[in-house]
Structure 1
Amino acid sequence: MSPTPPHPERPIQKTPDDRLDRSRFIGRLAAALVNPTTRKATGVVVGVTGPWGSGKSSILNLLQDHLETQYEDALIVRFDPWLVSGRNDLIGEFLGELIGTIRADAKRLGKYKKLAANLADYGAQLAPIGNLWKPGFGTILAGGLRSLKDALSQKESLDVLRRRLIDDLDAIQGPIVVLIDEIDRVEDDEIRTVAQLVRSVADFPGISYVLAYDPDRVVQALGSGASPENREERGRAYLEKIVQLQLPLPITFADEITRLLNAEIATLASELSIPEAFDQIDRYRELVQLLIEDVIDTPRDVRRLVGTYHVLAGMLQGEVDWIDLLGFSALSIKAPRTCESIRREPDLVVENPISERGILRHINDGTKSREDRIGEIVPSSERHVGTTALLGFLFPYFAEDPGNRSNHSDAIRFRRPLLTTLRLGLLPGAVSRDDIIALTSGSPFEVEGRLQRAFSDGTLEHLIDRLDDVYVDLASSIDHVAFWHGIAKFVRKPDCEWQAAYQPMYEIIRSLASTLDRSMRRRNELRAEGAAVFKALADAGESELTAQWLRRHIFVYGLFGREKRGGEKWFLTAEQTSEYALELTQKWQQAHLSGKLIPCHWSLQQVYAMMDTKLWDDECRSQVGKMLEDKRAVDGLALMLFGASFSTDEPGIEKLYSYEAFIRKAKQRLAEDDQQLHETVRLALQKAVNGGW
């Protein structure tokens, strides 16, 4: 079993947990607090400073571990004023903590009983008597209060009590070190009380102090009451009277934070099936560089990020690309309001929206600047470099270079993985489980009819989401071949006319196809069903769904020289994929050369498959040129290449036909000022001319 990473808000506890190798700093700090020759505290007051989350609490824990290891008779007192914030008397609480630490060890109690009683007397003079009691330590404190009553009746002064304490402390052999944490998290008056506490007992021999705080916050509190222009000066002067040595935490360099992040991720590798040598994956390294530069500043940031990722990945393992999920975890921590904007309208950020609003948004936003797009989803309070960089990394719609994107089928830039991340398994309520049972149990004609009605009434996106959620659960009762024949009938383009306006059918086909291959990967025993569906549809001449599945398998196995993207739980083997690819692309080539391929489909997946198998040749390119003599073909091809969120680079168009020739035809169409030209076509043509925006 892999070790569980620390709680994101909890500092490390022991030396073996220290991945930043702060042992030398801890050793030097310990030497300043305890004289190694006399083995007694030096009486110094040290301030360990740094901003929130920089590791101050971890330093105190490591210091305590070191001192207790080096000095068996050491008395280490931990006091956190934040835990008792709001109570009437921090001084009494502190002395109660000191007495409680003594009493916690039976051997130590007998040895230090007199010291404990005198501390109670001294504290009762410094603080209200009623606040010195601490649950669990009633006997000692009561004795101390009785001593105080006697002392007061004899008019024993604080000075006399103080000399008694000095004598007691001088007789103690071991060092006493007081560690006070979280000073900067309490109110201003409580910060001043802690300062008074240290001043009142700091010059006792045999006690050293380490105070952990953010210096700017403490200086402002100690300077309270002075004029604004003198507040900082007064606060620093006050602090200098208390703290003899102020030590800023050692600077944590970017490579150290990187090593810490990698080490924390490594603890989860086995549990969450993170790839071996994950830190060598280019996209992971790109994300880490982004995080280190603009998002992660402190070790606590690292722990909080990994803790958040651990929870999300545990719930979504195998559903969403793990690198994207790590990036989204960072976004949810650093920009929660931005994530809320995404949660409200996810179709506004994904590349394959299904809703009409989402599609129109992508089409109409083509001319908007990156800053304008970011401004519509990121509140001004979160509009900083880290947020915009993360958005661009996860969603190319917001990137400076939209072409730099994850090719993982479960990338969060796609609708299904994003919705899975946002919902965390909470199912949409627009379509019931019974609705899906009725859909999957119908004949192919009934399946087609139900999908057509959902498309017409605007509920298809909810139906697909629900289908994706429950398909694997219903798998044993589904006639998969019949069901997918029905889906094939629905997604088949009804004619071979060129598209005259953008339709979201490619996104719909992609989402439906993902339902099957994702279900096969969730349950390995269903792979045979997936292979049977593919064969049945391929034998029937279906070419929308099969082209989608075929190209995914080509990339999974790295066939025909394509980059291998990994993954084993797919329903076709590498050998089957290769055979199908050669067989189907030959058929598609013949269809293309007869002019019956591209205008008969919603996308160019069949053409891209021919490019994969090297069957796309000069004759095929020439056929495209012949078709583009018809201006309707120019419009339709522009929609396929640049419609909605699509964008095709120059080499891609050059391989398809000719980049210069196509752009020239696109310019000619725009210059014609055709009043019949649909707005989605005009924007696609303009996008092509502008180089994909």
Structure 2
Amino acid sequence: MSVTNLIDQPVEQYDEEEPLGLSKYASALTDFIVDCETPITIGIQGDWGVGKTSLLNMVDDQLVPKPKTTPVIYFNTWQYAQLDQEDHLTVAMLHDIVRRIEDLRSAPPSAREKAGEMMKNVGKMAANMGNQMVKNKVGIDAKKAMEETETNGEMTPGFLQVVNMMVDYKQQFRELVEAFMEDKIEGSRFVIMIDDLDRIRPARALDLLSSVKNFLDVPHCVFVLAVDYSVIQRGVEEKLGSDERKQHGKSYFDKIIQVPFNMPVSSYQVDEYAMSLLGWTWDEEGEKYVRSEDADEDDLYLNRHVKIKRRTAREIENLVCTTVGKNPRSIKRAVNYYGLLSRVFDTNNGHERARRRNIRTDRSWQSLYLELMFGFACFQLSYPELFEHFLRDPSPQRLHKLQDLDHLDRLSATEKIAERVSDIEDVKSDITAFFDQLVDILDDDEDEEWEVTADEFKPVLDVIRDTNLAGGTGGDVWDQIGAMVEEVADRAGTGEEELDEIREALSFLEHSKWGHPLHVEAKDSGTHSFNLYWHEEPVGAISSIQGNPLRFYVAPDSEESFLESLSEASEEYVEVVGESHYGKGSVRVHLRDLVDLNRNQGQGVLKEIHEIIVN
């Protein structure tokens, strides 16, 4: 299993350790199907992607060894819609169910003979479905269709033939089922599963469900339908109008579905499910997550972790639930996106820089960067409008503002989200909860205040830069700058002690505002220099000469105005030198002198210079 290539496939068989926690519901549903009175129709309700097919497959697998004869016939509506046969789904279903009964090894000769006769009748019925009125009525109520046609005076021989066939069909199907059960033990039943109804037009889904009720609802049959209540509602509206939906939508549903079963989404074990997709499994004895046995060797974080604490899994669960929600299909999509980001991060040498980062919380750097990357993957997929807003100025200040509901109300990004969601108030609560969790992940547990400092926020900037989430400069550009500086220093015979100081000064610059991927972009400008740009305008340069392998220049519009705007304390660290050097900029910043200051003071000077140059 690879976290970068999760295929969207349902669970294929019963698994007691299935990470979502569906196994207990599958067992309960299986027991009910075996013991319930027949005929009965069970509706498995849930949104698209919440695991309805997985639950059907688990039930199917559990029914096989039961002592009563419970053959399962599975009908997938989607395959017929794909073949442009949606208008004939009812006939296709009737034919397929009878054919499956005929093919069963346990079918006695009398049942096989009866099934053969019925398939011929279904074929004749399909051949006579050219009349559009009949096509529209099929699957709802054949007797009602006949009455309406008599009233309208539009009865045709072809129509009568189809209606008569459909009126007789239920009796024929009853006889077929009785013939099949004649040598079976008491209590045996057919289980007919109909799946993917939410992938076809609601009106066609309604036709199909009505056909089950009108033509197949006979003793010994249990129908298990994967369908959501909203499909019935939309089907009624599509066929009969919105007024009919409001007045009778629920009665249609109650007439077709005797036992509604809601997918237990609220009870899903999201932490274990998400961790299993990421390649981890819970070790009860060790009380930690350990690498899954079937995880691929090339999964980046799997190679760098030894264990993951339960707390990390809970935090990942919170990040998931406040963004993509508990829909398994959406969670898989987020994990796949995370896998891609992780590989981009590694390509840009992000892991090496992250490993050297001084993480001030009690978590490992691996856990911190995993949570940040996965969290951003979830958030960007769910709220791209707000993610773009965050990327315009990622900072601790903006992070904390996004914890505030009142602040969200003032953002145009929130207005855009409101246009596509049903309940913006719930969404805003989820968004603030997401950033609450992000703050909790970043914040040093020893701090008295729940606040992210500039140092604690740096891993966020690492992730943005080295995953290219902002579409700006990747970390590899700074590696190229470092390689340029070291090459020149090596040719000049620079000693190791001085080279370490140069490396420290370059790292100091990279992790300042000047190295921020959204504030400044570095581009190779030729031999011995990289120019720095802000919104495609040159704002400075980094260059190397043998006498000084690391020089940093800034390019103010006016040197005089720049010096006037600079604080007195910062003036001693800059020098007007003109442009007789490699790269853009007429003012040199004495970078190595800034490193000798208190870190906050040195970074403060670089921030001040940055604000004057770019504003």
- Between the aligned partners of 1:206 and 1:350, the Cα distance in structure 2 is 63
What displacement does 1:46 show?
0.7
> What letter corresponds to residue 165 of structure 1 in structure 2?
L
**Amino acid in the other structure paired with 2:24:** R
Return the match for 1:331 from 379, 392, 397.
Answer: 379
Confirm or deny: 8 A CA contact 1:122 1:161 kept in the other structure: no
Helix, strand or coil at the partner of 1:178: strand
Deviations 1:361-383 (A, max 9, x none): 99xxxxxx954995369844478
Query: What amino acid sits opposite 2:465 in the alignment?
Result: R
Provide Cα deviations, 1:120-165, integer angstroms capped at 9, x if missing partner: 145346544689xxxxxxxxxxxxxxxxx9xx89x98726634542
Task: Find the counterpart in structure 1 of residue 325 from structure 2.
Answer: 296
Aligned residue for 1:557? none
Kindly tell me: are residues 393 and 289 of structure 1, through their superposed partners in 2, closer, same or farther at Cα, counting changes over 3 Å? closer
Question: Deviation string for 1:330-360 (max 9, x for gaps)?
Answer: 0232134556x47xx96x23469xxxxxxxx
Deviations 1:441-490 (A, max 9, x none): 77989x998566734898799999xx9xxxxxxxxxxxxxx889865134
Asked if residue 194 in structure 1 is aligned to residue 208 in structure 2, the reply is: yes
1:12 alignment partner, SS class:
coil
Query: TM-score of the superposition, structure 1-length normalised?
Result: 0.53
For residue 168 of structure 1, what is the aligned residue in structure 2? 179
Give the aligned partner of residue 661 of structure 1. none
Q: Residue 489 of structure 1 is aligned with which of 533, 551, 555?
A: 551
Distance 2:595 2:466 in 1: 21
Q: Please tell me whether the aligned partners of residues 566 and 608 of structure 2 are also in contact (alpha carbons under 8 angstroms).
A: no
For 1:485 and 1:106, how far apart are their aligned partners in 2? Answer: 89
Give the Å deviation of 1:66: 1.1
* Paired-residue identity, %: 16
Q: Does the 8 Å contact 2:3/2:335 carry over to 1?
A: no
C-alpha contact 1:315 1:424 (8 A) present in aligned 2: no
- C-alpha change, 1:637 and 1:81, in structure 2 (3 Å) is closer
User: How far apart are the structure 1 equivalents of 2:103 and 2:475?
Assistant: 48
The separation in 2 between residues aligned to 1:439 and 1:458, in whole angstroms, is: 26
- Is the counterpart of residue 211 in structure 1 residue 225 in structure 2? yes
CA distance in 2, matches of 1:461, 1:101: 72
Q: For 1:44, give the aligned amino acid.
A: I
Q: Is the 8 A contact 1:272 1:314 kept in 2?
A: yes
2:466 matches 1:417: yes
Residue 44 of structure 2: SS of its match in structure 1? strand
Tell me how far 1:109 sits from its aligned partner. 9.6
Partner of 1:308: 337
CA–CA distance in structure 2, aligned partners of residues 456 and 20 of structure 1: 48
* 1:346-495 matches, cutoff 5 A: 348-350=392-394, 370-371=407-408, 375=412, 379-380=416-417, 381=419, 384-385=427-428, 386-387=430-431, 403=452, 407=456, 411-412=460-461, 416-419=465-468, 422=471, 450=527, 454-455=531-532, 487-490=549-552
* Cα shift at 1:252: 2.6
1:97 is the counterpart of 2:145: no
Secondary structure of the 2:261 match is strand
Q: Distance in 1 between matches of 2:263 and 2:535?
A: 58
**Residues 324, 381 of structure 2: 8 Å contact kept:** no
Asked if residue 117 in structure 1 is aligned to residue 116 in structure 2, the reply is yes
Cross-structure match for 1:18: 18
Residue matched to 1:244: 258
Tell me the residue number matched to 1:258: 271
1:84 corresponding residue in structure 2: 80
More helix per residue: 1
Shift in Å, 1:261: 1.9
Distance 1:93 1:205 in 2: 22
SS across alignment from 1:238: helix
Counterparts of 1:127 and 1:484, CA distance in 2: 87
SS of structure 1 residue aligned to 2:550: helix
Structure 2 CA distance for partners of 1:204 and 1:296, relative to 1, 3 Å: same
Post-superposition offset of 1:679: 9.8
1:422 Cα shift? 4.8
1:61 corresponds to which residue? 57
Paired position in structure 2 for 1:525: none
Paired amino acid for 1:168: A
Give 1 or 2: higher strand fraction: 2
Identify the match of residue 277 of structure 1 among 278, 287, 307: 307
* Equivalent pair of 2:77/2:195 in contact (CA under 8 Å): yes
8 A contact 2:2–2:296 mirrored in 1: no
Deviation per CA, 1:7-52, whole angstroms, max 9, x where unpaired? 464322222262233333222322332249xxxx833111111233
Structure 1 distance, partners of 2:43, 2:451, is 48
Task: Note the residue ranges of structure 2 that are not aligned, 5 or more in a row.
Answer: 131-157, 281-291, 351-368, 400-405, 444-448, 493-523, 571-588
Q: Which residue of structure 2 lines up, in the alignment, with residue 47 of structure 1? A: 43
Aligned-partner Cα distance in 1 for 2:314–2:592? 36
- Residues 489-638 of structure 1: pairs in structure 2 closer than 5 A: 489-490=551-552, 501=565, 600-601=590-591, 605-608=595-598
**1:463-521 deviations in whole A, cap 9, x for unaligned?**
99xx9xxxxxxxxxxxxxx889865134699x9xx976579xx9xxxxxxxxxxxxxxx
Q: Distance in 2 between matches of 1:34 and 1:414?
A: 53
The amino acid that maps onto 2:452 is G
Shift of 1:223: 5.1
CA distance in 1, matches of 2:533, 2:172: 88
Distance apart, 1:202 and its partner CA: 3.1
The answer to whether residue 70 in structure 2 is matched with residue 70 in structure 1 is no
Whether the 8 Å CA contact 1:223–1:236 is kept in 2: the answer is: no
> CA deviation digits over 1:254-277, x for unaligned, max 9?
7x2223223332145962224233
> CA RMSD for the aligned pairs?
5.5
Alpha-carbon distance in 1 for matches of 2:176, 2:222: 15
**Per-residue deviation, residues 300-351 of structure 1 (Å, max 9, x unmatched):** 3333322332343345447553322211210232134556x47xx96x2346
Q: Secondary structure at the residue paired with 2:551?
A: helix
SS of aligned partner of 1:15: coil
DSSP 3-state at the match of 1:51: coil
Q: SS at 1:278's partner residue?
A: coil
Equivalent pair of 1:448/1:486 in contact (CA under 8 Å): no
Check whether the contact 1:169–1:206 (CA below 8 A) recurs between aligned residues.
no
In the superposition, the TM-score normalised over structure 2's length comes to 0.58
More deviation in 96-105 or 77-86? 96-105
Q: Distance in 2 between matches of 1:168 and 1:273?
A: 59
Change in 2 beyond 3 A, CA 1:190/1:113: same
8 Å CA contact retained: 1:8, 1:308: no
| CA displacement at 1:190 relative to structure 2 | 0.2
Contact 2:467 2:474 in 1 (8 A): no
Cα deviation code 1:206-234 (max 9, x no counterpart): 22101112213313423555564552331
The one-letter code sitting in structure 2 at the alignment partner of 1:51 is D
Q: 1:12 to 1:98 in 2, by over 3 A?
A: same
Inter-partner Cα distance in structure 2 for 1:602 and 1:376: 42
Task: Check conservation: 1:501, 1:680, Cα contact below 8 A.
Answer: no
Structure 1 residues 386-432: Cα deviation after superposition (integer angstroms, max 9, x where no partner): 45665787799xx998726784865446653242785899999xxxx
Secondary structure of 1:263's aligned partner: helix
Structure 1 residues 55 and 455: alpha-carbon distance in aligned structure 2, compared to 1, 3 A threshold: closer
Cα distance in 1 for residues equivalent to 2:102 and 2:127: 22
Q: Which residue does 1:516 correspond to in 2?
A: none
Aligned-partner residue type, residue 466 of structure 2:
P
Size of the aligned set, in residue pairs, is 461
Aligned residue type for 2:412: G
Moved more, 105-114 or 10-19: 105-114
CA distance in 1, matches of 2:545, 2:115: 80
